[in-house]
Structure 1
Amino acid sequence: MIVSALLTSVGINTALCVVFFASYSILRKQPSNYEVYIPRLLAEGTSKRIPRFNLERIVPFSNWLARAWTLSEDELLSSSGLDALVFMRMITFSLKIFTFAGIIGIFVILPVNCWGNQLQDFDVIDFANNSLDVFTISNVNTGSSWLWVHFFAIYILTGFICLLLHHEYKNIASKRISYFYSSNPRPHQFTILVHSIPVSKTHSISDSVESFFREFYPSTYVSHVVIRRTNKIRNLLVEAKNLYKKIIQLRKQNRQKNKQGDYFRLFGQDDNLIDQYGKKLGEIEQNVRLHQSEASLATEEARAAFVFFKSRYAAATAFHMQQSGLTNLKQLEVLFPFLTSILTIKFVTQIITGYLPSLILQLSLKLVPPIMGFLTSMQGYISHSDIESSACNKVIWFTVWNVFLATVFSGSFISLLSVILDPKHIPERLAVAVPAQASFFITYVVTSGWTSVSSELFRIIPLLGSLITRPFSSPEDEFEVPSLPFHRDVPRVLFFGLLGITYFFLAPLILPFLLIYLCLAYIIYRNQFINVYAPKYETAGKLWPIVHNTMIFSLILMHMIAVGIFALKKLSPASSWMLPLPALTLLFNEYCRKRFLPIFTAYSTESLIKKDRQDQKDPRMAEFYKKLVTAYKDPALLPFQYSSNTDGLFDPLLS
């Protein structure tokens, strides 16, 4: 790829970012868009729709930038929880790494790369038509002593990253323990889910659970809730809710028509529809009550139950012990010849080589997180946090294998398989293939990074959804405040980190573009935590080990490529002295795994007992135990009635 193709990509994406920022600054101030751009503030009541027009609403001021910039860690922790804080720490951690790497890469390694055997071919006057290979390590002479600069740079960066990883792991582990001690009692801390409860001919599932835990946990057992089959009831509830919305909408339309003077339409089509919907809604309610009564029978019990305890320590002990029969199971030219003449146009070629490949890849990767989330949900995880954590790992490794490795080996599965089956020559194969794709991944950071994070601010999908549904809804309708999909955004940031570490010494030109992406991500996600995202759950920072492991993998990958590069460049001493580095990195990882990982897996016995003793002095615990019993009751079994309260401004649907 030539410089002009990269500049074309940079220009297109810079323009898109400016458009997104300007559009967001205007659209977020329109009352009709509040549910898209400030749903959290709207739900909390800290912001209200102001219907009157003023000039400020059409001027793209950026006052939101100052608010996002001044948000402190303590404010973020209190408003969005430790998971949000850990997510932002991942971004600031990456900023520290690549600021340090950028200084070395741009001011030390890049000049060395340019001072190679192709420098004589570098045309300063016709700068835009130079190849990007001039800025990579492939431009350095074979056997050159200047390659020792790359060698020492790799050692320095590895040491810096390991020191920073240790500091962050220790800091976040400390915050996790402090967060636990300062948090209020939560139902999930006192609850376990038991699976595969044995079926008895003489006792129901509920009786079996009751008798078992009363016998073996007499002093700590509180109660239990058996999970029941309520799929039919949930379907009926969804149908009832949709009918309720239709009735409300029809009655509002009637009111508007009556206000406009349409007094003679007394028995029109709308009234007939309202009557039909009302009768159907009443029938659904009767069916729901019938199914709810049937669900209470022993035949509708599933072989699982939520069991509640008086202390966290008792719940943790019961969770990690095998309970007899109560076992816990973890279940474009070749394809389109007619484009040949078009591809001869220079500008079109620059767009296709510098922008289109990474754009196509970015669009295809949009589907990966939801697919992985769906597949993970089928594995039997019992909480949203477990699903997203597992999906996060899947998306990361899918991206590494199917974006990084598949791209560097020209998308050939056979080539990739041949590398895996011949581990002795992996460094050599990587050393040849990875530098060859440097220009692609530079444009990938620009296209996928800059545009994706700017579109996160613009929220184009929720905006389009709001525009489509707006004619059929009213400001009084309920809306759901979204939560950040960690399994989508954490892998994206980590993959860019992998690219930055891998290409640090191969093509340091990637580092400035990566820093711009991280700066955009820093300010945009802080803004989203203020205005858009509310926490759906809290894992107290359990995502950090994923960040740590991915960084360790990135370092090992860089070391393997470096071994191969120095061997290809006929600098055998550097290749040999590079071998201890991955071993030292793995030893450091093993130390962190034993020192910090247990804190993120489960709280220690000491922490649980201290917290339980602290709660014993709290007079509010008696009330908490009363609410604990109903905390996990199936919503489908709760009483409901739409037909008698369709709208406070109108008569009941059914008399």
Structure 2
Amino acid sequence: MDLAALLTSAGMNITVCVVLFSLYSVLRKQPSNVNVYFGRKLASRRSKSHDVCLERFVPSPTWVMKAWETTQEELLTIGGLDAVVFSRMVVFSIRVFSVAAVICIVLVLPVNYYGQDRIHKNIPFESLEVFTIENVKEGSRLWAHCLALYIITLTACSLLYREYKSISNLRLTHITASPPNPSHFAILVRGIPWSPEQSYCDTVKKFFSFYHSSTYLSHQIVYKSGAVQKLKDDAEYMCKMLSSGCGSVQPTCKPSFAQCYFCGGSTNSFKIISNDIDSMHGRSGYSDLHINARKKECAAAFVFFKSRYAALTVAQNLQTANPMLWVTDLAPEPQDVYWSNLCIPYRQLWIRKISIFAASITFVLVFLIPVTFAQGLTQLEKLEKMFPFLAGTLQKKFVIQLVTGYLPSVILVLFLYAVPPMMMLFATVEGSISRSGRKLSACTKVLYFTIWNVFFVNVFAGSVISQLAVFSSITELPAQLAKAVPVQATFFTTYVLSSGWASLAFEIMQLFPLFCNLFQRFILGYKEDTMNGNLTFPYHTEVPRILLFGFLGFTCSILAPLILPFLLFYFVLAYLVYRNQILNVYIRKYDSGGQFWPIAHNTAVVSLIFAQVIALGVFGLKRSTVASGFTIPLLICTVLFHQYCRQRFLPVFKNNATQVLIDMDRKDERCGRIEQIFEQLHSAYCQFTSSSQSECFSSHQGEREIVRTPEDVEPGKEISQQDLSWPVHRNLTSDKPVLGGT
């Protein structure tokens, strides 16, 4: 590929970006699109109406200025710590590749260009290989490349240390400065042993009351949930109604499908589950409720403790000699719980993980087909042999530039769009107990997949397999990478253009929500906004993309410096686009507490190590002993730096500090709000919202289960969904709320 083909690809992507960004600046001003481009503000009821004026139809850069001027504190308030961490990833990339671009363009690129005694063509018609390290003749000292590698590594490590320290402090502040978090007092227990004499609920109470009597507060059993279980519950409820006579069913508080639509139940009444009402309907009372509840119980429960330190201690300790029973973990935040996976038997998890690993390997092997096809487009000679009827067409200059400089990366990008949904499915089947954990798992899978297929498979499919044959041993890997990466560096440059610049334009346009909105308004005739702003930021797709481009930048910086200006422009554009989306489009439903940064740090360090290994191989091929000798200490120091950061900062992201939790407990005791926290614990983890499902909570002797209704709410108090659905256990003698599912 020559420089003209690269410029053709860049021109096409720039045109697409300019058109889409201009169109976005116009469409975002239209009142009919407020639910598409201001979903977060619409959800928080802060959207503004727009008057009809000419300014609505003129492109303007106001959104750029707003995204640029937004402070980190504002971003933290709106998007949470995860949004700040993602923004810091982009800022880190901008800083390190700014230094790399200056050093490599000024110092390395001239050495590559004049590396051999040859007659140079005009710059636009020069082959891109002339600008890579492949053009440097053997025997050169390559001191410029070694010096640039040292500067890039030192800059990256110093910035990584600074960012790791800063984000660790932000995480500690996130824990201590936030309102009392119910998850700090709760643990999730799985693998509860089954007993024929008593229910899971009684088993949990007996175990923790005996072994943790001083700190145990209450517990809440997890019940079977999901679409299948809901249909089953509704069917059972219908059978009970039909058998007892639909006309004799009394109104209840909950608008269940069976009650409201078939029996005319009112939503403004309440139901007291008692022996009297059960006998009116021909049921046996509490015994049936206990049997029904026991059938729906899972071998999992949330257990609440009197202090944060007690919950942390129990979560980290082994409860019994059998590690497959009474498995304890820190509970996710209430809004972060992934209820469907809590009912998965703990003994199945290892089988699921092995199955998902095998499925991932299969998916990677299947994906080799489109990758190989995309790489085949870069080799016109093979295309002419396979498709002789295209011989005349492939001789045209514009077609050559289009096929070699644009189509391969576009085809690969289109196939890669199927990867994130598949990896999210794999992460769900694995059994993650939290939504953020599921997204973290999917993020890691997508990252490994894209780095393997975009970098390694393209490298070996494009050059090693076709030119050098497969390496015979792992010791030859650096040498093979040294030969292959410079050849494929031009493909990585075009990939940054197609997958980077264009993807940002499509991201800010929100094409799918926009088309859905237009279809509903102009085809279906809806006049009101029917689309709710429920989109969460797709960290599992965007974090791997940012880290992949960083990986390509580090590995190709001294080998093919021309990639750096295109990469730097992408990161600057990403900084503006993603901040705009966090401010206006995506809402925050849950927060992982900055757990994405260790992934980013590890990927950056691994990228540096790979860049050094490849450089070591290149220096060996070019017979530059001085550069090779200086690269080995740099490689060792990078590994030691990584180990130090793992020991210094990573434990902060894995566990909560005892010192911090005890200080928070004592502060709550001094403020006198510990009792208030206890009262909020049980209602925080609200699993069910339908009346048929709420019946599966147990009711003991001396207690009645009262379901809240609008009449139960104090006058003037806002009615929440929780007030309409959550059953409250009250003691008949004291009339005080009773915590726990006991």
For normalisation by structure 2, the TM-score amounts to: 0.76
- How far off its partner does 1:239 sit? 11
Larger mean CA deviation between 349-358 and 460-469 belongs to: 460-469
**Correspondence list, 1:128-167, <5 A:** 128-145=124-141, 147-167=142-162
Instruction: Give CA-to-partner distance per residue, 1:448-483, whole Å, 9 cap, x none.
Output: 111111211111122122223342645264614211
CA–CA distance in 1 between the matches of 2:468 and 2:678?
Answer: 57
Q: Does 1:195 align with 2:182?
A: no
Query: Do the aligned partners of 1:230 and 1:636 also contact (CA within 8 Å) in 2?
Result: no
Q: Does structure 2 retain, via aligned residues, the 8 Å contact 1:311–1:612?
A: yes
What are the Cα deviations for residues 417-475 of structure 1, in whole angstroms up to 9, with x where unaligned? 98686121111000000100011011111111111112111111221222233426452
- Per the TM alignment, residue 82 of structure 1 is displaced from its structure 2 partner at its CA by 1.1
Gaps of 5+ in 2: 236-256, 266-270, 272-280, 282-287, 329-345, 351-376, 378-382, 695-708, 711-742
Match of 1:359 among 399, 406, 410: 410
The answer to whether residue 124 in structure 2 is matched with residue 122 in structure 1 is no
2:43 aligned with 1:43 = yes
Q: How far, CA to CA, are the matches of 1:63 and 1:232 in structure 2? A: 44
Helix, strand or coil at the partner of 2:192: coil
Counterpart in 1 of 2:82?
83
Is the 2:93–2:571 Cα contact (8 Å) retained in structure 1? yes
Whether the 8 Å contact between 2:35 and 2:531 is mirrored in structure 1 is no
Q: Conserved in 1, the CA contact under 8 Å of 2:190 and 2:300? A: yes
SS across alignment from 2:138:
coil
Q: How does 1:120-519 map to 2 (within 5 A)?
A: 120-124=118-122, 127-145=123-141, 147-231=142-226, 235-236=230-231, 282-283=261-262, 296-324=292-320, 325-327=325-327, 329=346, 331=350, 333=383, 338-410=389-461, 422-470=473-521, 471=524, 473-475=526-528, 477=530, 479-519=532-572
Q: For 1:341 and 1:191, locate their aligned partners in 2 and report how far apart those are by CA, in whole Å.
A: 71
Using a 3 Å threshold, how does the CA distance of structure 1 residues 354 and 285 change in structure 2: closer, same or farther?
Answer: farther
**SS of match in other structure, 1:304:** strand
Q: Please report how far the alpha carbon of residue 528 of structure 1 lies from its aligned counterpart in structure 2 after TM superposition.
A: 0.9
- Is the counterpart of residue 73 in structure 1 residue 72 in structure 2? yes
Quote the Cα distance in structure 1 between the aligned partners of 2:677 and 2:418.
Answer: 42
- CA offsets 1:568-591 (integer angstroms, 9 cap, x no match): 111123223322222111111111
Match of 2:54 in 1: 55
Q: Which amino acid aligns with 1:114?
A: Y
Q: How far apart are 1:536 and its partner, in Å?
A: 2.1
Change (3 A) 1:631 1:396: same
Q: 1:406, 1:413 within 8 Å by CA — same for their partners in 2?
A: no
Residue deviations 1:348-371 (CA, integer Å, cap 9, x gap): 221111111111111111111121
Structure-2 residue corresponding to 1:256 = none
Deviates more, 1:332-341 or 1:345-354: 332-341
1:121-176: CA deviation from partner (whole Å, max 9, x where unpaired): 3222xx3221011111111121123x111112112211121111111111111121
- C-alpha spacing 1:237/1:518, structure 2 compared with 1 (3 Å): farther
Matched residue SS, 1:630: helix
* Cα distance change on mapping 1:239 and 1:109 into 2, 3 Å: farther
Q: Secondary structure at the match of 2:221?
A: strand
Match of 1:574 in 2: 627
The structural deviation recorded for 1:630 is 2.0
What percent of counterpart residues are identical?
44
Contact 1:419 1:425 in 2 (8 A): no
Query: Whole-Å Cα distance in 2 between the matches of residues 521 and 377 of structure 1?
Result: 29
- 1:454 touches 1:520 (CA, 8 Å); kept in 2? no
1:113 aligned onto 2:166 = no
Structure 1 counterpart of 2:681, from 628, 639, 651: 628
- Per-residue deviation, 1:344: 2.4
Q: CA deviation at 1:279?
A: 9.2
- Using the TM superposition, give the Cα deviation of residue 105 of structure 1 relative to its aligned residue in structure 2, in angstroms: 0.8
Quick one: distance in 1 between partners of 2:230 and 2:528? 26
User: Are the counterparts in 2 of residues 30 and 57 from structure 1 also a CA contact under 8 Å?
Assistant: yes
Pick closer, same or farther for the CA change 1:426–1:279 going to 2, 3 Å.
Answer: closer
Q: Could you tell me which residue of structure 1 aligns to residue 20 of structure 2?
A: 20
One-letter identity of the residue aligned with 2:405: G
Equivalent pair of 2:437/2:592 in contact (CA under 8 Å): no
- Distance across 2 between alignment mates of 1:49 and 1:635: 37
Q: CA deviation at 1:38?
A: 0.5
1:593 is matched with 646
For the residue of structure 1 that corresponds to 2:683, the secondary structure is coil
Partner of 2:8: 8
Residue number in structure 1 paired with 2:721: none
Of 591, 600, 609, the match for 1:556: 609
AA of the residue aligned to 2:677:
F
**228-237 or 481-490: bigger deviation:** 228-237
Q: Distance in 2 between matches of 1:285 and 1:548?
A: 59
Aligned to 1:258: none
Structure-2 change in CA distance of 1:607 and 1:562 (3 Å): same
Question: What residue identity is the alignment partner of 1:436?
Answer: V
Give 2:92's aligned amino acid.
F
**More divergent stretch after superposition (469-478 vs 431-440):** 469-478
Q: Could you tell me whether the CA contact under 8 Å between 1:113 and 1:135 is conserved in 2?
A: yes
Deviations 1:246-305 (A, max 9, x none): xxxxxxxxxxxxxxxxxxxxxxxxxxxxxxxx999714999xx99x97995212211111
Q: Give me the whole-angstrom Cα distance separating, in 2, the residues matched to 1:280 and 1:412.
A: 68
Give the CA RMSD over aligned residues. 3.0
In the alignment, the residues of structure 2 paired with residue 284 and residue 155 of structure 1 have an alpha-carbon distance, to the nearest angstrom, of 77
Contact preservation (8 Å) 2:90, 2:574: yes
Gaps of 5+ in 1: 241-277, 646-655
Partner SS for 1:629: helix
CA contact (8 A) 1:405 1:416 kept: no
**Following TM superposition, by how much is the alpha carbon of 1:335 offset from its aligned partner in structure 2, in angstroms?**
6.4
Task: Tell me the CA shift for residue 96 of structure 1.
Answer: 0.6
**CA distance change for structure 1 residues 36 and 417 in 2, over 3 Å: closer, same or farther?**
farther
Partners of 2:9 and 2:566 in 1: CA distance: 12
Superimposed CA distance per residue, residues 585-607 of structure 1 (whole angstroms, 9 cap, x where no aligned partner):
11111111111111111111111
Give the counterpart letter for 2:116 in structure 1: N
Helix, strand or coil for the counterpart of 2:219?
Answer: strand
Report SS of the residue matched to 2:304.
Answer: strand
SS at 2:461 equivalent: coil
